[in-house]
């Protein structure tokens, strides 16, 4: 049978592991992500919670297998003073969230709340430290407070505040977007600032030490990566960040629902640009770090649209449609295929902000199409990346072209192979001839996420409009499969 596209997966040639940490999320003090999203307060009797954290959110995120969570920002991080968020809640000073809506927060969600919540989620915390308006001593104290098991001023204070054992936080961001909201620095200046902070971040954790992540480039700012790789001594850095959002135009981002096919096409151009970004940033890193010791950490990514009409423009609340499922499916495939260098990523942001996996409205909570894609894909976490060849077909609009099919494959600890496939074409179903060679496994099953319209989304009145279903659109002939992918669909196949 003539097919549009051809994929050959080599199940006996894997070299790299897909770090589960690329399935990380991001929780900033922004709009209703932390307050109202994760945290509703210990005294809330309307929304079931444990120590103020929503039970429905914990359940949904545990099922998603969230491996790590970045907090408290974002731009907010460089204004945040962690000591204002510990001790008796009634005594805590307020903070004005200058970046996001100018709202006054009461600091009731602080270090203990976040780190205890990560324990409930079974997720590794990733703390983003204040470099922009903070002090080196403030960060040293924070590391000591959360990580030091012995006697010290900060560990004693932690114990006074009710936590005997240290949490042992591994991941630390040294500032955020230092080129912008983190201080408008040049890369040369930031490199010096970074070195000062990183030098004093003692390894109060365990023999493995802490993992310091330098504030990285915005999208295609390759000079930023070049200067940092040149100037940062390998002994002081474990990860280098990269931020990239799929934005049509920063001055008019377009609506989150009810968008045109042209707008969809542009969003996908921006999303697929991630392939070039991680390739080129990795190439620069390879020059200075040929052993790939330093991880590329894409700690902010996702779709960014105009806020929902009638909502606070500073709160970045947007709906989540099949377009977002396309962004998630293709971007995760890109990260998988660059597993050698991309070893952590954080989708922006978990709840009620940008490309969220969960939306809440008082006591109600819904799962977005992005949630479903991340859950379908979590079979790839810590699996061995399998190399594949892909003969693609174009998705064309107004004379412009994008590759229609995105794919990645992995083999889990039991030898089962998973192949994730996305067809971004807005109008055409695409057939794929898929050969999985180099495995004895042969029983095939699949799951699909699809809907009738690109703009379709889940709502509080219709929460399950978009949900994964069993996929039957394939025929098997020996080790060859003919797979039919409907327009704008995501499929995960298991070969077991």
Q: Which residues are catalytic?
A: 177, 300
CB of 273 to ligand AHR, least distance (A): 17
- Tokens 């989620």 locate to 121
Structure tokens at 294: 């330093």
- Tell me which stretch binds ligand AHR (CB under 6 A): 14-22, 72-80, 206-214, 418-426: 72-80
Residue 73 touches ligand AHR, criterion: CB under 6 A: yes
Structure tokens at 19: 């770090």
Residues in region 306-365 near ligand AHR by CB under 6 A: 348-349, 354
Residue 352: count of CB within 10 angstroms of its CB: 25
| Closest CB to ligand AHR among residues 73, 369 | 73
| Closest CB to ligand AHR among residues 176, 450 | 176
**Residues 45, 174: Cα–Cα separation, whole Å:** 38
**Residues 229, 53: Cα–Cα separation, whole Å:** 39
Residue 370 touches ligand AHR, criterion: CB under 6 A: no
**Residues 410, 415: Cα–Cα separation, whole Å:** 9
CB of 360 to ligand AHR, least distance (A): 18
- Residue 110 is classified by DSSP as -
Taking a C-beta distance cutoff of 8 angstroms, is the pair 358, 59 a contact? no
Conformation bin of residue 14: beta by default, left when phi > 0, alpha when psi is -120 to 50: beta
| Closest CB to ligand AHR among residues 31, 52 | 31
Residue 303 touches ligand AHR, criterion: CB under 6 A: no
Residue 129 touches ligand AHR, criterion: CB under 6 A: no
Residue 300 touches ligand AHR, criterion: CB under 6 A: yes
**Residues 232, 214: Cα–Cα separation, whole Å:** 9
| Closest CB to ligand AHR among residues 78, 456 | 78
Q: Computed over its alpha carbons, how large is the radius of gyration of the chain?
A: 22
Taking a C-beta distance cutoff of 8 angstroms, is the pair 155, 76 a contact? no
CB of 247 to ligand AHR, least distance (A): 10
CB of 349 to ligand AHR, least distance (A): 6
Dihedral angle sign, alpha carbons of residues 457, 463, 468, 473: negative
CB of 354 to ligand AHR, least distance (A): 6
Kindly write down the DSSP assignment for every residue of 392-444, as one continuous string: --EEEETTEEEE-EEEEEEE-TTS-EEEEEEE--SS--EEEEEEEES-S---E
CB of 76 to ligand AHR, least distance (A): 6
Contacts of 247 (CB under 8 A, 6+ apart): 253, 270, 303, 304
- Tell me which stretch binds ligand AHR (CB under 6 A): 68-76, 151-159, 368-376, 458-466: 68-76
CB of 307 to ligand AHR, least distance (A): 12
Contacts of 249 (CB under 8 A, 6+ apart): none
| Closest CB to ligand AHR among residues 23, 245 | 245
Residue 203: count of CB within 10 angstroms of its CB: 11
CB of 400 to ligand AHR, least distance (A): 27
Burial class (CB in 10 A: 0-12, 13-18, 19+), 292: middle
Taking a C-beta distance cutoff of 8 angstroms, is the pair 242, 278 a contact? yes
Kindly write down the DSSP assignment for every residue of 359-402, as one continuous string: EEETTEEEE-HHHHHHHHHGGGTTPEEE-EEEE--EEEETTEEE
- Pick the binder of ligand AHR from 21, 176, 321, 433 (CB under 6 A): 176
CA distances in angstroms from 374 to 104, 122, 379, listed in the order given: 33, 17, 9
Residues in region 12-31 near ligand AHR by CB under 6 A: 28
Residue 187 touches ligand AHR, criterion: CB under 6 A: no
Structure tokens at 484: 């039919």
CB of 103 to ligand AHR, least distance (A): 15
- Tell me which stretch binds ligand AHR (CB under 6 A): 69-77, 162-170, 410-418, 445-453: 69-77
Residue 177 touches ligand AHR, criterion: CB under 6 A: yes
Cross-strand partners of 407: 421
- Pick the binder of ligand AHR from 40, 75, 213, 421 (CB under 6 A): 75
Nearest residue to ligand AHR, by Cβ distance, number only = 74
| Closest CB to ligand AHR among residues 216, 446 | 216
- Tell me which stretch binds ligand AHR (CB under 6 A): 71-79, 136-144, 202-210, 279-287: 71-79
| Closest CB to ligand AHR among residues 178, 405 | 178
First-residue to last-residue Cα distance in the chain? 25
- Tell me which stretch binds ligand AHR (CB under 6 A): 73-81, 324-332, 462-470, 482-490: 73-81
* Number of residues binding to ligand AHR, judged by CB under 6 A: 10
| Closest CB to ligand AHR among residues 74, 468 | 74
* Residues of this chain that bind ligand AHR (CB under 6 A): 28, 73-75, 176-177, 300, 348-349, 354
């Amino acid at each position: 049978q003539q097919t549009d596209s051809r994929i050959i997966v080599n199940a006996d040639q894997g070299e790299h592991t897909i770090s589960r940490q690329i399935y990380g999320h991001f929780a900033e003090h922004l709009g209703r992500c932390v307050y109202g999203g994760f945290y509703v307060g210990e005294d809330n009797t309307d929304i079931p919670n444990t120590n103020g954290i929503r039970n429905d959110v914990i359940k949904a995120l545990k099922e998603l297998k969230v491996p790590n969570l970045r907090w408290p920002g974002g731009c907010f991080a460089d204004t945040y003073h962690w000591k204002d968020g510990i001790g008796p809640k009634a005594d805590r000073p307020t903070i004005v969230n200058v970046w996001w809506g100018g709202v006054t927060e009461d600091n009731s969600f602080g270090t203990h709340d976040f780190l205890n919540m990560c324990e409930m989620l079974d997720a590794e915390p990733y703390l983003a430290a204040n470099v922009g308006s903070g002090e080196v001593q403030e960060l040293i104290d924070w590391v000591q407070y959360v990580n030091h098991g012995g006697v010290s001023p900060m560990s004693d204070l932690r114990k006074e505040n009710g936590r005997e054992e240290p949490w042992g936080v591994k991941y630390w961001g040294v500032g955020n977007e230092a080129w912008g909201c983190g201080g408008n620095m040049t890369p040369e200046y930031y490199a010096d600032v970074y070195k000062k902070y990183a030098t004093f971040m003692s390894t109060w954790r365990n023999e493995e030490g802490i993992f310091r992540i330098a504030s990285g480039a915005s999208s295609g700012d390759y000079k930023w990566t070049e200067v940092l790789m040149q100037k940062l001594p390998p002994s002081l850095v474990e990860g280098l960040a990269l931020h990239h959002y799929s934005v049509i135009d920063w001055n008019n981002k377009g609506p989150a629902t009810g968008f045109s096919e042209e707008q969809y096409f542009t969003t996908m151009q921006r999303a697929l640009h991630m392939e070039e970004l991680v390739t080129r940033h990795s190439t620069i890193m390879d020059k200075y770090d040929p052993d790939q010791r330093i991880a590329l950490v894409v700690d902010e990514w996702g779709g960014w649209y105009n806020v929902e009409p009638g909502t606070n423009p500073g709160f970045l609340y947007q709906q989540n449609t099949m377009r977002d499922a396309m962004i998630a499916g293709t971007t995760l495939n890109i990260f998988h295929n660059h597993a050698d260098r991309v070893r952590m990523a954080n989708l922006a942001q978990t709840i009620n902000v940008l490309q969220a996996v969960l939306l809440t409205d008082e006591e109600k909570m819904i799962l977005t199409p992005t949630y479903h894609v991340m859950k379908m894909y979590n079979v790839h976490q810590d699996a061995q990346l399998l190399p594949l060849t892909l003969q693609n077909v174009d998705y064309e609009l107004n004379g412009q072209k994008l590759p229609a099919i995105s794919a990645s494959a992995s083999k889990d600890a039991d030898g089962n192979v998973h192949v994730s496939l996305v067809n971004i074409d807005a109008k055409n179903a695409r057939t794929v001839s898929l050969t999985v060679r180099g495995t004895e496994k042969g029983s095939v099953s699949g799951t699909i996420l699809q809907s009738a319209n690109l703009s379709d989304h889940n709502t509080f009145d219709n929460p399950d409009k978009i949900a994964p279903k069993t996929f039957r659109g394939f025929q098997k002939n020996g080790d060859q499969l003919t797979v039919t992918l409907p327009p704008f669909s995501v499929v995960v196949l298991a070969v077991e």
